[in-house]
Homo-oligomer: A and B are copies of this chain.
Amino acid sequence: MSDESETLEREHFQRIVKAFKAYRQYCQHRITERESYVRSLPPSHQSLLHPYTQHLQHQRVCIDHNAEIIKLIIKDVECMFENVHHQPMNNEDSDTNSMLGPDIEKVQSTIRQIVRDWSPSGERERQQCYGPIINTVEKLFPLDKGGRGDIKVLVPGAGLGRLAYDLAKRGFTCQGNEFSLFMLFASNFVLNKCRGINSLRVYPWVHTGSNTLSTEDQLTPATFPDVDPSDLPTHAEFTMAAGDFLEIYTSADAFDCVATCFFIDCANNIVAFLQTIYNIIKPGGYWVNLGPLLYHFADQPGEPSIEPTYQHIKSIAIGIGFTILEEETGVNTSYTQNPNSMLQYEYKSVLFVAQKKTDRKTEQQTEETEDTEEGGGSR
C-alpha cells in the first residue's frame, strides 16, 4: 500500500471511530434542541407538551444505553485488522459537529443492523431475506452429493455477517466480505466478543419520533445475540474479509457459489460487480441474488451512477455469460424496518439463480482488464 493511500485509509478509519464516539453527545444534543424549542413556546403549549417532554427524558436514557453498547463495539477496534495497525486517536474531543450528521446516522443504522442480523426481533426480516437464499443454496448443493465443507461460498456485502454465518452453520465454507467500517466494527464485536444469548440490548427506534403511535413503540428494546455466534461446528469454516469487493476478489474460478443479498445496487457501475461475480465463480458454479435495485449512488452529488432496470440487469448477466436458471419477482422483503412504525417500507425484491458457463472457451470477455471503480458498502 502506498503512503498516500495508507494515510487516507487511516483518516477514514479515524473518522468512523470519531462518529461512534460522538454518537452519545450528538443524539443527546438533538434532544436538547427539542427541549429548548418547547421552552420557547407559549406556556399553554408547554403545558400541553408536558407528556412529550417527559418522553424526551426517557429517550435520553435509551441513548445513554446505546452509547454503552457503542463503547463495547469500538473497544480495541484499533487492533481489529491483523495487517494494519491504526494509531489510537490523540484527539478525544468529539465536539458536536454538523458535518458529523450523516456519519452519526450510519451509527444509528448500524444499531438497527444489529437487530436485523442478530436479534430475536429481526427473525421475520431474516426469514424474508436470508431464508430464500439459504434454501436455494442448500438445494443447489444437496447433502447427499458430498461434504459441504468443500463448497466455497462468498457473501459480498455481508453486513453484520448473519447470512454468511447461517451458511457456515449449514456446513459450507463461507466467507463474508464487507467494505463499510461501520458494519465491520459491529460484526467484529458480535462475532468475536458477544457470548451469552440475548445478554445485551439496544434501543433501535429511539432516534426517530416521526410515525410513532405510542411512546412505548419508540422505547422498545431489542436483545441480542439471538444465538451464540461462536457456536459453529468445529469443522465449519467461516471468515470475514474487509475491503472493496472489486479490489479483493480478482482470482478467477475461486468460489462454487456467490450469494448476494441487498448488495448489487451498492455499485457505481453495476456491470463491474456482475463481471467480478462471474469471474470468481467456478465454471458451472452459481450466483444466487435477492434484493431490490435501490442504487446507492443515484442521488449522491459527485458520485457517478447508472441505474439499469432489472430487465437490463438480466440482459447484462446473460451477455456476460450467465444462464438464468430461476427467477422470482415481487418477493416481499424489508430492511431494518420498525414493525410498529406508521411508515412501512416494503421491497418487492427479485430472487434469481444464475449459472456460469461450464465451457471455458467462451469466457474470454471476463478476462479483459477489470475497471477499478469504487464500490462496496452496505445500505
Contact = CB atoms under 8 A, between A and B. Distances in A.
A369 B346 CA distance: 44
A209 interface: yes
A121 interface: no
Contacts of A33: 304
A136 to B, nearest CB: 19
A38 B306 contact: yes
Give the interface SS of chain A, mostly helix, strand, loop or mixed.
mixed
Contacts of A312: 49, 51-52, 55, 215
A342 interface: yes
A287 to B, nearest CB: 16
Nearest to A105: B299
Nearest to A98: B301
Contacts of A209: 295, 298, 306-309
A89 interface: no
Nearest to A212: B309
A325 interface: no
Contacts of A268: 37
A35 to B, nearest CB: 9
B218 A298 contact: no
A199 to B, nearest CB: 30
A256 interface: no
Contact of A346 (B37, B49, B218, B344): B344
A183 B365 CA distance: 51
B272 A343 contact: no
Interface in A295-349: 295, 298, 301, 304-312, 315-316, 319-320, 329, 341-349
A271 B45 contact: yes
A59 B98 CA distance: 37
Q: Report copies per complex.
A: 2
Given A48-B316, A343-B345, A371-B41, A34 B213 contact: no
A5 interface: no
Interface string A247-290: 00000000000000000010011011001000000000000000
Nearest to A292: B342
Contact of A37 (B47, B304, B319): B304
A224 to B, nearest CB: 25
Given A217-B309, A298-B209, A309-B217, A371 B52 contact: no
B269 A41 contact: yes
A350 interface: yes
A45 B371 contact: yes
A234 interface: no
A33 B306 CA distance: 9
A107 interface: no
A294 interface: yes
A306 B51 CA distance: 12
A293 interface: yes
B309 A214 contact: yes
A210 interface: yes
B305 A215 contact: no
A362 to B, nearest CB: 14
Given A34-B307, A208-B298, A343-B345, 10 more contacts: A33-B304, A37-B268, A49-B308, A209-B298, A209-B306, A209-B309, A213-B329, A292-B342, A292-B343, A344-B348
8 contacts: A34-B307, A42-B369, A49-B308, A210-B265, A211-B293, A211-B347, A212-B293, A214-B310
